Amino acid sequence: MKISPLKTGILLLSALALSVQPASAHPGHEEPLPESFSRSTPAISYYSTPNRKHTEIKGGEATVLGKVSFDLAKASTVLVQFNSGLATVTPEGCPCSVRTSLKVDDQEPVVIKRVNLGAVNASVAGKYQVDRQSADGSFVLSLPAGQHEIALVVQRIEGSSALLHAFYANIQAIPFRP
Note whether residue 96 is domain-resident: yes
Q: What is the pLDDT of residues 132-162, one digit of tens each?
A: 899 999 999 999 999 999 999 999 999 898 8
Distance, in Å, from the CA atom of 72 to the CA atom of 76, rounded to the nearest integer, reads: 7
Instruction: Report pLDDT for 108.
Output: 95
| CATH number of the domain where residue 101 is located | 2.60.120
The whole domain housing 99 covers 33-176
Distance, in Å, from the CA atom of 30 to the CA atom of 41, rounded to the nearest integer, reads: 34
- pLDDT cut 90: percent of the chain above it: 49
Note whether residue 148 is domain-resident: yes
Note whether residue 85 is domain-resident: yes
DSSP track, the chain: -PPPHHHHHHHHHHHHHHHPPPP-SSS-TTSPPPPPEEEE-SS-EEEE--S--EEEEETT--EEEEEEEEEESS-EEEEEEEEEEEEESSSTT-SEEEEEEEEETTSPPEEEEEEEES-HIIIIIS--SS-EEEEEEEEEEEE-SEEEEEEEEEEEEES--SEEEEEEEEEEEEEE--
Note whether residue 62 is domain-resident: yes
Q: How confident is the model at residue 54 (pLDDT cuts 50, 70, 90)?
A: confident
- pLDDT cut 70: percent of the chain above it: 76
Domain total of the chain = 1
Note whether residue 14 is domain-resident: no
Note whether residue 8 is domain-resident: no
pTM: 0.77
Q: Is the pLDDT of residue 15 over 90?
A: no
Note whether residue 13 is domain-resident: no
Q: How confident is the model at residue 24 (pLDDT cuts 50, 70, 90)?
A: very low
Note whether residue 12 is domain-resident: no
Q: How confident is the model at residue 23 (pLDDT cuts 50, 70, 90)?
A: very low
Q: What is the pLDDT of residues 92-139, one digit of tens each?
A: 888 889 999 999 999 999 999 999 988 765 555 555 566 789 999 999
